[in-house]
């Protein structure tokens, strides 16, 4: 056999051998949103109320106006409206009770208690809403969130987008150090104009690291060995998935909400988990 022919044959054999031995991923969870109405209750539950930080929105439950499936995709909609707070108590200083009306509504859905995963590729194709105050996210919390608390449970932010910083996307991991103090690491590259179209956001997660993607751009790798003074095992257990649209205020990371940008619609084409 001539040397050139032999080289081609060996190259083909090498490629075939690699293809045969390369691990194949299996789709273990998906929602293609090819139905109409509320999100599939077998897969999705809801956060409800004034849930986090100084965010001004009230997360509603099973309310089509804020969260629905239509035209082959999930729509999470942030709205400016006076929404009665069912937990309101006159004179209370508690965050969940002191406001008689919420100035905004939105939705946050999750797989808590239904589906969770340890490792794999979590992939979401979505179109984020623009405008100051818009704060959509794709993220995960440890299954022990309700018993171990945050940040000890760990948090994986696959994508956060801030309308006030419209050319970037954020990938961040949160955890606690040995004293229980919050620690975080991440990256926020300039990627263009995420709000202009649908894009694929993903994390590839294993027992040593996580790698985050915007389309095919691999823009951040987090290695557990760099968690100084913290338990690396926080990311070696099951996590569940959340999809939400928060709105901004001058007291939180989202920044002051621009009411002219509302209603804000966050479109999710599909959610897929491979292992």
CATH code of residue 223: 2.60.120.200
Instruction: Find the domain containing 117 and state its range.
Output: 26-45+109-274
Q: Is residue 218 part of a domain?
A: yes
Q: Per the domain annotation, does 94 fall within a domain?
A: no
**Integer-rounded Cα radius of gyration of the chain:** 21
In sequence order, the 6+-apart residues with CB closer than 8 A to the CB of 238 are: 116, 117, 118, 142, 143
Could you identify the residue written with the tokens 């999750």? 110
Structurally, how many domains does the chain consist of? 1
Per the annotation, the verdict on 251 as an active-site residue is: no
Angle at CA of residue 33, ends 215 and 172, nearest 5°: 40
Specify if 51 maps to a domain.
no
Q: Is residue 268 part of a domain?
A: yes
Q: What is the 3-state secondary structure (H, E, C) of 158-218?
A: EEECCHHHCCECEEEEEEECCCCCEEEEEECCECCCHHHCCEEEEEEECCCEEEEEECCEE
Instruction: Tell me whether residue 77 is in a domain.
Output: no
Among 1-5, 19-23, 246-250, which range has the highest average pLDDT? 246-250
Asked whether residue 55 is assigned to any structural domain, the reply reads no
pLDDT at 17 (0 to 100)? 45
Q: What are 116-157's pLDDT values in tens digits? A: 999 999 999 999 999 999 999 999 999 999 999 999 999 999
Q: What do you get for the CA distance between the two ends of the chain, in Å?
A: 42
Q: Is residue 65 part of a domain?
A: no
Gap between the Cα atoms of 44 and 113, Å rounded: 9
Per-residue model confidence as pLDDT tens digits over 81-113: 999 999 999 999 998 899 999 999 999 999 999
Q: Is 155 a catalytic residue?
A: yes
Options 55, 77, 123, 155, the catalytic residue: 155
Determine if the pTM surpasses 0.85: yes
How crowded is residue 105: how many other Cβ atoms within 10 Å of its Cβ?
Answer: 23
Q: Who's near 34: CB < 8 A, 6+ residues apart?
A: 72
pLDDT exceeds cutoff 70 at 22? no
Catalytic position from the list 160, 215, 223, 251: 160
Report yes or no on 149 lying in a domain.
yes
């Amino acid at each position: 056999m001539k040397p050139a022919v032999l080289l081609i044959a060996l190259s083909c054999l090498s490629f075939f051998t690699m293809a045969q031995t390369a691990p194949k991923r299996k789709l273990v969870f998906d929602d293609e949103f090819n139905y109409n109405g509320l999100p599939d209750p077998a897969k999705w539950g809801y956060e409800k109320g004034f849930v986090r930080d100084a965010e001004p929105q009230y997360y509603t439950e099973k309310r089509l106006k804020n969260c629905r499936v239509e035209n082959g995709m999930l729509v999470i909609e942030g709205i400016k409206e006076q929404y009665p707070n069912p937990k309101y108590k006159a004179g209370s200083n508690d965050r969940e009770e002191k406001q008689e009306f919420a100035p905004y509504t939105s939705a946050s859905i999750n797989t808590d208690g239904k589906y969770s995963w340890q490792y794999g590729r979590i992939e979401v194709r979505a179109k984020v809403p623009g405008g100051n105050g818009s704060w959509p996210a794709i993220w995960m919390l440890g299954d022990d969130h309700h018993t171990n608390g945050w940040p000890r449970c760990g948090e994986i932010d696959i994508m956060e987008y801030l309308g006030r910083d419209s050319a970037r996307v954020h990938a961040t991991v949160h955890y606690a150090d040995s004293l229980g103090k919050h620690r975080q690491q991440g990256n926020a590259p300039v990627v263009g104009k995420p709000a202009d179209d649908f894009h694929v956001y993903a994390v590839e997660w294993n027992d040593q690291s996580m790698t985050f993607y915007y389309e095919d751009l691999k823009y951040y790798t987090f290695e557990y060995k760099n968690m100084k003074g913290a338990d690396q095992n926080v990311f070696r257990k099951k996590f569940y998935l959340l999809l939400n649209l928060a709105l901004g205020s001058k007291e939180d990371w989202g920044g002051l909400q621009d009411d002219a940008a509302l209603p804000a619609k966050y479109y999710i084409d599909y959610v897929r988990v491979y292992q």
